[in-house]
Every structure is written in C-alpha cells, then in structure tokens.
A and B are shown apart, each in its own frame.
Chain A
C-alpha cells in the first residue's frame, strides 16, 4: 500500500471545560459502574474462575484441592475424545469458512443479479436461518436416520442402507451439511445487503474501462464489501467455535461428533461433575477463541490506521 500523507492531527482545544456536579458524577458513576460490574461478575469472574479451577480436582461438592497441571496432562494424553474434538472444531471452521461462506456469497451474487424467481430463492435460502441449530439437528435426524430417514427412503439402499448418523466416519459430514444449510442462508443475506449498497457507478466505470465481469467482481465489488467481509468472517468463526446444539441434539456429541464445547458440558454438567477437568477443556477452548479474537483485533486496528 502506498504511503499516504498523514492528515493533520486536530489538536483539541481545551476551551470550555465543563464541571460535573456531584450528582452528574454520581449518575455517570452508576451508569458506568453497572456495566463494569456486570462485565466483571458475568464475564471476567467466571472466566478467571475457570482458569483457576482447571488446576484443581473439584467435583462440585466439598473441598477444592490443587492438582497442578494434572488435568491438562490427562486431557492431552489420556482422554480419547479430546483430539477428535479439536480436529472436528477445526474441520467445522474450515468447512463453514471455505465451503459454506463462499457458497453463500455466490448465491447472494446470483440473487442480486436478479435471476428469475430470485425472491423465491432468497426466501427459501433464508428460511433455515430462523431455525435454531438444535431444531436443524432434529430435522437432520428425520432426513438422515438409517431405518426411518427420508434420505434412505429415497435412495432405496436395499437390506443394508447407509448409516448416515451412526457411522463415525460419515456423520460429521452430514451434520456439517445441515449446519451449512443454515449458515449459507445467513451469509447470503448479509452479502445481499452489502451488494445492494455497492454504488452502480463503480461497476459502470469498470465496464467502461473494459473489465470483464469476473474482474469487476473481484477487483471492484468485493473490495467495497470489506466491512461485510469482516462481519461474515467474525460470524463464521463464532459459529464454528460455539457449535454445540446441533451435535448435542443428534447424539449428545458422541460417536464421531465430538466438539470441545460438548466435552466441557459432558464433564461439568451431571451428577458427579469433574469441574476441574471440564474447566481445563474450557480453558483450551478459550485460548483457541482468543487466538482468533486477537488476530482479528490486530488486523482491524492495522486496517483502521491504514484507512
């Protein structure tokens, strides 16, 4: 990027300084204090507590005893569900990011260009977005169930039909399809809004300059969609990391559908909770999420400077 001349920094004139009355200060204090307190108690408190508890063997009843990094060692070496869960989370991210999101963009472009029945497609594709992912999971079971599912009824399958949801090599893909069904519509609607806002004059100018449609899209339209791209990227990452409800609805996130979020719940919720161990998994999930959040923030701040 070319260096631009730094714009003159407006120096703030310290002219009219307003004094706050005691009452105003109180109001500000309360108004700022409530969110800060909420933030501390609802967000930071539990987060720090998780980190602390991850070094204990607390079972939710009785005394808390320190075990050092035992939970983490146990997690990495001795917990068969952990690495599959990590892989599935990465797969989830990759699938939503590399398949579902571009597909949503493609659909948005098609609908935006006004193919026939575009309104119908638009609403049909948007429909699943209003469903909760848990509901999408229930629908997926109606479709993919081996014995009574719609898909096997259509395919026939003979005496030994495919076990879409029970086969651990297969079910994650089926669930990803179901999750993408919803995600694609979500992404499409965001991009549609963005595309509507693109100044047509830009496209005309590109056409006059002799740009092909492809070039126009990738060189002119897509860069103007930058804010939307960021939102879509953030949503995709969030959706991938918080994925939980759909796999839990299908088979409690077991047998091929393990995710970090499920492992946390499995260990913490229940009669005899392994809160210490579950917290260790939660901390891993936290670190992964922080990785993305920090990367994103750094990018954003750099972008802000360059703008």
Chain B
C-alpha cells in the first residue's frame, strides 16, 4: 500500500485560520482517496500487447536473481521485442494472498505450484486453460503432464523445475563408518541402530514450522499403501480411520526412537545443521534444504538415497518431488486482449524449453529441470542423482500440503502431526480427530 504523506497539504501563510485548516484537511482527505482512484484507473501495459506482466513469489535473493536472468534471456531472444514486467511479492505473503490476488487484479502470468493446489484454483475458474500450447511442449514425462492437468482433464500449468525429497546424509560419514544405503525398512532400522551405537543421532528430525515432517508421512504412506492411495487420501476419498493410515502411524512410531527428540521445537535449518555437524546421520529432506546449511566446500559431501521399501508391492515407485511452474490468471484484464494473450503464451512456450530451464538452474543449482531436453552436463553429482531418481519414478507426488486442500493441510494436518510427535501412542484419538475435521472441511464445497 502506498503511504500517503500529509506534508503536501501544508497550511499556507503564517497564521492558521480555521478555514485554511479546513482546506488543508479536505486536501488531506483527497490525498487519501486519490491513490484508490488512481489504482481504479488501472495501470495496464501499453497498448502494443508486447509487455507481459508476471507475478513472482520468488522473493529470496538466489531464485530472484536466477529468474531475472531467465526473463532477460527471453526478452533478448524475442523477435517481436516482448518484455516481461516482473512484480515480485514476498513468498509467504504471495501464498497467503493468492486467493484474493487471483480474484482481484492479477498479473497475466504468475508463479505457482503443481498438483491439487493448482487444480483447486482451476476448479474455481481462476486459471486459463493452456491445453492448446501444452500439446506442443516437448521433453515432459506423463507424470509431469498429470501434475499439470486439472480435474477436467485440461492443462493449466507450465512446469519449470522440481526438487525431489529423499533421505539425505554425508557421504564421508557413510564411507568412514562403512555404512551402506539401506534398501528396505528393516535395513534402515538396522542402520539407525548401528548409528546409535556409534553415538550418532540416527535421523535428524524437525517440525517446528509444521511442514517438514509431512515428507516423512508421505513417504511412509506411499511406500506402505502406494501412490494411488496417497492421492485418494489427500483428495478426501479415503478414511483417515482406515487400517492403512493406522499402519502408517504405527510404522512411523517404530521409527521415532531413532529420530532426534523434541522435533516440534526444531526448525529445518537447525536439523540440517546437525546433519552438517555430523551429530546426526540422516534426514528426510527436499533437495534444497541441506544445500542451504552446508558451507560451499562441503557441498560435495551431501548425498542421498531413496526412502526405503516398506511394501514390495509398491517398491520405490513414487517420488515426492514438488513442481513449481507458471500459470495464466483468468481475471487478468490485459489477457483479454488477444495480443497480450499471444505474448503470454509465447513466454510460457519458451519457459517450457530445456534451454530456458538451463538458464535458471545456472543461477539456482538447488533444483532440477523438469524437461528432459535440459542440459545436465553442468549439473552437480547431487543434481544428476536427483534427475535419475525422478526420471525413474512411476509416480510423482507433490508433498502433503500441495496434494490436498490447503485449509485441510494447514488447519488439520499440521497440528495433527505435531501432536503425533508429542504423543505417538494415541493413534486412535488422532485419526478420529482428523477424520471428523476432514469431513467438515471437504463437505464445505
């Protein structure tokens, strides 16, 4: 919001008469109203239709710079002289206001997440169908297409990059002690026991922010019950009181003795630091998390293995890999002009190319490109391994809070998982509570 200064309505002359004071006050009131009037006039881009307004939630310095480089490259290659006008908003603010943003005066193109969180807004009619250009995209896997598709079977998202989740550890620690990456849950627990003997905390664990432990829940669930069950559970179609879900919590409880205690008081940064300091042996994280807590010279020491097999029927089919991408906002006024629409779609097409992803990732190596046309030769060993992990996946999940209704994940699941960590014994009370709340929330539509 623009701050209005009242200095402009200075009182003329030395003596302040009542009338001049009033005039000043009236001018002041006018100054308050003015910005609103101006805003109502709309500050659309010039009539040439070549300027694309883009709403960005990448407010952190590293991605912000990397995106700036990508858009600059787009402008440079555009033969029509198209320009991208980026409007960056703080990441959390953007997220919290997305609802009002999309209903108000959104930019033409905006950054958002794949999966349910995209489908939710597609269903509300706030996104533009881009199926026509999606058909021409190259280098995207069927799993990516599924994550870009709304419930109506149309595509709404141009995916850009993703970051898989896995069990991270330090390569040097594993080499020194002769640890082997475990393939099954039993091996995982055996390794954890060995670490305990070696005076390490086996699994660094944190959930102060409410979301990091969701990754563990998702993996145990998908390894136990498969991706399809995960999808249905998140969509509110399965009961949380089912034996399948109970089993997930039971398995998790059997792992808790090997996890760092007091997780609800620890941020992911602190957990990653204990991994970096070699106090903890392993941690379930996303690709960017350990990277940000390890100093540069130790980056090569970060390694991971996929979350171990629990039920051989599902093996390690599913990988949790949140996808970020670009969408068109339906309520954007300027998109109603054909020329602007053409420009916006041109930008999306360009962003879907491997080349465009390369430019971004050169500035932000904590993610990996979605397109298999992207140049992986400059990738770090860790990135290459991440590509292997994702490309071998039969299904890609998007993380609990992206695969379900946002109100359900934040209002119900965050407190539920935190209370499970505090008191892992009362699974009955826990799942009953979740199920009751789920019913009221999913019934709201």
Taking CB atoms and an 8 Å cut-off, the chain A residues in 248-307 that contact chain B are 251-252, 254-255, 266-267, 269-274
Q: Is A80 in contact with B120, judged by CB distance below 8 angstroms?
A: no
Q: Is B96 in contact with A270, judged by CB distance below 8 angstroms?
A: yes
> Is residue B264 within 8 Å, beta carbon to beta carbon, of the partner chain?
yes
- CB-CB under 8 A from A274, the residues of chain B are 407, 411, 441, 444
- Which chain A residue has the least Cβ–Cβ distance from B96? A269
Q: Is A164 in contact with B22, judged by CB distance below 8 angstroms?
A: no
- CB-CB under 8 A from B274, the residues of chain A are 147
- Which chain A residue has the least Cβ–Cβ distance from B274? A147
> Is residue B225 within 8 Å, beta carbon to beta carbon, of the partner chain?
no
Residue among B126, B265, B444 making CB contact with A57, cutoff 8 Å:
B444
Q: How far apart are the CA atoms of A59 and B407 in the complex, in Å?
A: 10
Shortest distance from the beta carbon of B27 to any chain A beta carbon, whole Å:
13
Shortest distance from the beta carbon of B428 to any chain A beta carbon, whole Å:
14
> Is residue B414 within 8 Å, beta carbon to beta carbon, of the partner chain?
yes
What bracket does the count of chain A residues touching chain B fall in? 35 or more
Shortest distance from the beta carbon of A71 to any chain B beta carbon, whole Å:
9
- Which chain B residue has the least Cβ–Cβ distance from A84? B415
Q: A147-B270, A274-B441 are in contact. Are A166 and B99 (CB under 8 A)?
A: no
Q: Is B266 in contact with A166, judged by CB distance below 8 angstroms?
A: yes
> Is residue A148 within 8 Å, beta carbon to beta carbon, of the partner chain?
yes
> Is residue A215 within 8 Å, beta carbon to beta carbon, of the partner chain?
no
Q: Is A167 in contact with B265, judged by CB distance below 8 angstroms?
A: yes
Q: Is A266 in contact with B411, judged by CB distance below 8 angstroms?
A: yes
Taking CB atoms and an 8 Å cut-off, the chain B residues in 198-249 that contact chain A are 208-210
- CB-CB under 8 A from A79, the residues of chain B are 437
- CB-CB under 8 A from B209, the residues of chain A are 251-252
Contact with A along B237-280 (1 / 0, CB 8 A): 00000000000000000000000011111100010011000000
Residue among B405, B422, B444 making CB contact with A255, cutoff 8 Å:
B422
> Is residue A168 within 8 Å, beta carbon to beta carbon, of the partner chain?
yes
- CB-CB under 8 A from A255, the residues of chain B are 208, 264, 415, 418-419, 422
Q: Is A270 in contact with B422, judged by CB distance below 8 angstroms?
A: no
- CB-CB under 8 A from B261, the residues of chain A are 160, 163
- CB-CB under 8 A from A60, the residues of chain B are 99-100, 103
Instruction: Determine the main DSSP class of A at the interface with B.
Output: loop
Shortest distance from the beta carbon of A17 to any chain B beta carbon, whole Å:
21
- Which chain A residue has the least Cβ–Cβ distance from B423? A168
> Is residue B124 within 8 Å, beta carbon to beta carbon, of the partner chain?
yes
Q: How far apart are the CA atoms of A269 and B101 in the complex, in Å?
A: 12
Q: Is B99 in contact with A273, judged by CB distance below 8 angstroms?
A: yes
Residue among B262, B414, B419 making CB contact with A167, cutoff 8 Å:
B262
> Is residue A74 within 8 Å, beta carbon to beta carbon, of the partner chain?
yes
- CB-CB under 8 A from B441, the residues of chain A are 274
Q: Is A271 in contact with B265, judged by CB distance below 8 angstroms?
A: no
> Is residue B43 within 8 Å, beta carbon to beta carbon, of the partner chain?
no
Q: How far apart are the CA atoms of A182 and B273 in the complex, in Å?
A: 32
> Is residue A27 within 8 Å, beta carbon to beta carbon, of the partner chain?
yes
> Is residue B190 within 8 Å, beta carbon to beta carbon, of the partner chain?
no
> Is residue B410 within 8 Å, beta carbon to beta carbon, of the partner chain?
yes
Q: A80-B415, A255-B422 are in contact. Are A147 and B266 (CB under 8 A)?
A: yes
Q: A81-B415, A252-B210, A271-B117 are in contact. Are A146 and B266 (CB under 8 A)?
A: yes
Residue among A59, A160, A163, A252 making CB contact with B444, cutoff 8 Å:
A59
Q: How far apart are the CA atoms of A272 and B408 in the complex, in Å?
A: 9
- Which chain A residue has the least Cβ–Cβ distance from B416? A80
Q: A34-B29, A81-B415, A272-B99 are in contact. Are A267 and B265 (CB under 8 A)?
A: no
Q: How far apart are the CA atoms of A120 and B126 in the complex, in Å?
A: 59
Shortest distance from the beta carbon of A61 to any chain B beta carbon, whole Å:
5
- CB-CB under 8 A from B99, the residues of chain A are 60-61, 270-273
Of A27, A164, A274, chain B has the most CB atoms within 10 Å of the CB of A274
Q: A147-B270, A163-B265, A165-B265 are in contact. Are A271 and B406 (CB under 8 A)?
A: yes
Contact with A along B419-445 (1 / 0, CB 8 A): 100100000000001001100110010
> Is residue B173 within 8 Å, beta carbon to beta carbon, of the partner chain?
no
Q: Is B405 in contact with A272, judged by CB distance below 8 angstroms?
A: yes
- CB-CB under 8 A from A74, the residues of chain B are 440
Shortest distance from the beta carbon of A266 to any chain B beta carbon, whole Å:
6
- Which chain B residue has the least Cβ–Cβ distance from A269? B96
Of A30, A146, A164, chain B has the most CB atoms within 10 Å of the CB of A146
Q: Is A61 in contact with B265, judged by CB distance below 8 angstroms?
A: no
- Which chain B residue has the least Cβ–Cβ distance from A160? B261
- CB-CB under 8 A from A34, the residues of chain B are 29
- CB-CB under 8 A from A59, the residues of chain B are 407, 444
- CB-CB under 8 A from B124, the residues of chain A are 61-62
Shortest distance from the beta carbon of A189 to any chain B beta carbon, whole Å:
29
Q: Is B95 in contact with A146, judged by CB distance below 8 angstroms?
A: no
Residue among B95, B210, B270, B411 making CB contact with A145, cutoff 8 Å:
B270
Q: Is B98 in contact with A271, judged by CB distance below 8 angstroms?
A: yes
Contact with B along A49-91 (1 / 0, CB 8 A): 0000000010111100000000000100011110000000000
- CB-CB under 8 A from B407, the residues of chain A are 59, 267, 270-274
Contact with B along A10-41 (1 / 0, CB 8 A): 00000000000000000100110010000000
Residue among A166, A167, A254, A270 making CB contact with B415, cutoff 8 Å:
A254
Contacts from B to A (Cβ < 8 Å): 22, 26, 29, 95-96, 98-100, 103, 117, 120, 124, 126, 208-210, 261-266, 270, 273-274, 405-407, 410-411, 414-415, 418-419, 422, 433, 436-437, 440-441, 444
Ordered by A's residue number, 26 sampled pairs between the chains whose C-beta atoms are within 8 Å are: A27-B22, A59-B407, A59-B444, A61-B103, A61-B124, A78-B436, A78-B437, A78-B440, A79-B437, A80-B419, A80-B433, A81-B415, A147-B274, A163-B261, A163-B265, A166-B265, A168-B264, A251-B209, A254-B418, A269-B96, A270-B99, A271-B96, A271-B406, A274-B411, A274-B441, A274-B444
Other contacts beyond A165-B208, A254-B210, A271-B120: 19, CB < 8 A: A34-B29, A57-B444, A59-B444, A61-B99, A61-B103, A81-B415, A145-B265, A147-B266, A148-B270, A163-B264, A163-B265, A166-B264, A167-B265, A252-B209, A255-B415, A270-B96, A270-B410, A271-B95, A272-B406
